[in-house]
Structure formats: structure tokens, C-alpha cells
Amino acid sequence: MINAGDAEGRKAPVYSLVIPIFNEEAVLPLLVRRITALLDKLDASAEAIFVDDGSRDTSVIFLRGMATADPRFRLIELSRNFGHQIAITAGMDAAAGDAVIVMDADLQDPPEVVLDLVAKWKEGYEIVYARRTKREGETLFKRATASLFYRALEQMTSVTIPRDVGDFRLVGRKALETFKQMPERDRFVRGMFGWMGFKQTAVSFERPERAAGETKYPFWKMLRLAVHGVIGFSDKPLRLALWLGLAISGFAALLGVYALFSWLFASGVVHGWTSTVVIISFLSGINLFMTGIIGLYVGRIHAEVKRRPLYVIDRLTGFEEAIAAMSN
Ligand code: UDP
Ligand code: MG
């Protein structure tokens, strides 16, 4: 299409696949086979960038071998586990293609769907996300919490973050360059792409089970991602604190009036220990909760002002001259 494989030397590929890897040794052989098949099927030159997010198993050894043997494979090794969203970012920073496709390593994002994403991109869409119509092999709990989260987030933000969409998507150069200019530390990648606009569309697919290995997203990690999503894209929780504080003050004022009247007109009002305890513990609970919400935002500011790099690269394999061009 735009600058498909030149005869002399390696030119920038048309497609870049970005695949984050965290302890995926169980699925890697199968993944590489499916990715190779996909690369052969694509209509123009393509590269596959694996980002090792501090794996503690043999994933890295396998991938180094792949990146050395096949010129289309590249490997970025981060210096430790930085988390899924940062790993994706590192891969996208290094991607040289005109269209960049982000997908999970566990084959829950089927490589064949990439062909559908590409078809939409050629129709002129800048961002094409893959929407899950059915999720297999995921617990009812995971599906319910995910669904609840997306619906709540929709209520809370002014940014359109498409429902039932993970990080499996294709983005064009314009969107990618925009993404690279977004420096925030706490990254909620799907929200960031929602924010930037452009012509966007969806392709539906049925999400299969993880091909091998275990989920790398236990409940607490999901919760953290959800909190990042809310804090990063909404200031509703802060306003909630304000309204709740106001409501409770109103209630307290009424109670004060009542107390005053009892003191004036009733006799022997010593009892009331229960209500005092209830009110104090209730109010201190609310206070702590609200301080916590504010703390989340302050913590985010703290992380931003440190201006540390988003990630640290330990080692690159298969990049050659592309290394110099890398930002961060
Ligand atoms: N992953 C990562 N760093 C992490 C956790 C996960 O790079 O700290 C990768 C993981 O290897 C996989 C993708 O992110 O390629 C999605 O993880 P997983 O499939 O375990 O999440 P789930 O599909 O269960 O939500
Ligand atoms: Mg998965």
C-alpha cells in the first residue's frame, strides 16, 4: 500500500504487530506459529514486536531465538514488570508500520481477526477496535465486573470509551503519533484512543478461551486498571465527595437543631450515647473515604511531576537501525 517492501534493504514495514508478553512460555510456540501464518497472509510487509514485560519464565529465551532467526520478529525486553498498559506503550513507541495492531499473547485475540481490522483500515478508518461479542472460558464474575465497569465508566466520563473493547485494535500512523504525545504515567490505553477522536469503527469477534497458561490479570490487577480508568478520565469522584459532604453537613445541621431543642426543652438528656457513636463513626468513615479519593488524584499528580520515563528497556533484539529512532 503505502511503502511496501522495497527491493534494496529493509524499509519500514506497512504493518506492525505489538504483543505484550508476561510469563507466557506455555503459549509461545503456538502463538509464534499463528503469528507467522498471519504475517504470511498479510498483503504487505509486516513486523511483529514482542514486548517482554519482565517475564520470570523462559519466554525471553524463546523470543530472543525467534527475533534472531526471523527478520520480521523483534523483541523489546523491559528491565522489569511494568504492567500490561506500559508494555503496549513500549511496543507502540518502537513500531515502524503505517498501521499498528495491538494484541494479547494468549490467542484470545485471534490473529485471523487482524485481517478484518486491516480491511476496515483500508476503507479509511484511523482506529479499528475489535469488539468481543462473546467471551468464552472467562468466569461469570469476570464478565459481570467487566460489563459493570464499562457501563459505569460510560456514565462518568465525557470521553466515549467503546463497550466490550479491550486493547485489541488497529491504529493508523496519525493516531499512533498522537498517542506518543500523550505522556501520562497511569495509562488506560483504550480510553486514550477514545479521547483522541478520528474516524473509528469496530469489528466484532467471539473471544475464545486462553490457549494455554493462566490469566496474568488477577482480580486486584483488574481493579487497579479500573481505578486508573476512572481517575484518569473522570473527576466525578471528586464531585461526589463534594455533594456527599454537603448532604452530610445538611443532615448534621438538622441534628444540631434537634440537639439544641432537646437541651432547651427536654429534661435529663444524657442518653444519646448510641447516636453519638453512630454519627461519629459514620462521619469518620466518610471522611476517610473522601480523603482516600482525593489521595488517588494527588498520587497521580505526584507520579506525573516526577517525570520519570514510562519504562526502561534492558535489551533489544532484531531492531538494528530502528533503535536510534526510538523515543523515550
Ligand atoms: N501482560 C503483560 N504484563 C502484565 C500482565 C499481562 O504484558 O503485567 C500481558 C499478557 O502476557 C497478555 C496480555 O497482557 O499478553 C493480557 O493478559 P491476560 O491474557 O493474562 O489477561 P486477561 O485476558 O485474562 O484479561
Ligand atoms: Mg487473556
pLDDT in tens, 31-50: 999 999 999 999 888 999 99
What ipTM was reported for this prediction? 0.93
Q: Please give the C-alpha separations between residue 53 and each of 41, 76, 135, 219, 300, in angstroms, as whole numbers.
A: 28, 9, 25, 19, 22
Expressed in angstroms and rounded, the spacing between residue 108 Cα and the centre of ligand 2 is: 6
Our answer on whether the CB atom of 179 is closer than 6 Å to any ligand 1 atom is: no
Our answer on whether the CB atom of 229 is closer than 6 Å to any ligand 1 atom is: no
pLDDT band for position 77 (50/70/90)?
Answer: very high
Mean pLDDT taken over the chain: 83
Our answer on whether the CB atom of 50 is closer than 6 Å to any ligand 1 atom is: no
Our answer on whether the CB atom of 93 is closer than 6 Å to any ligand 1 atom is: no
Query: What's the whole-model pTM score?
Result: 0.74
**If we measure between CA atoms, which residue out of 311, 326, 315, 310 comes closest to residue 76?**
315
Q: Which ligand is nearest to the CA of 27?
A: 1
pLDDT tens for each residue of 218-252: 778 878 888 887 777 777 777 777 778 778 878 87
Strand 73-78 and strand 165-172: the pairing is unpaired
Atom nearest to 23 CA in ligand 1: 11
pLDDT tens for each residue of 135-189: 666 777 877 887 787 777 777 777 777 777 888 999 999 999 999 998 888 788 8
Expressed in angstroms and rounded, the spacing between residue 105 Cα and the centre of ligand 1 is: 7
CA distance 44 to 14: 6
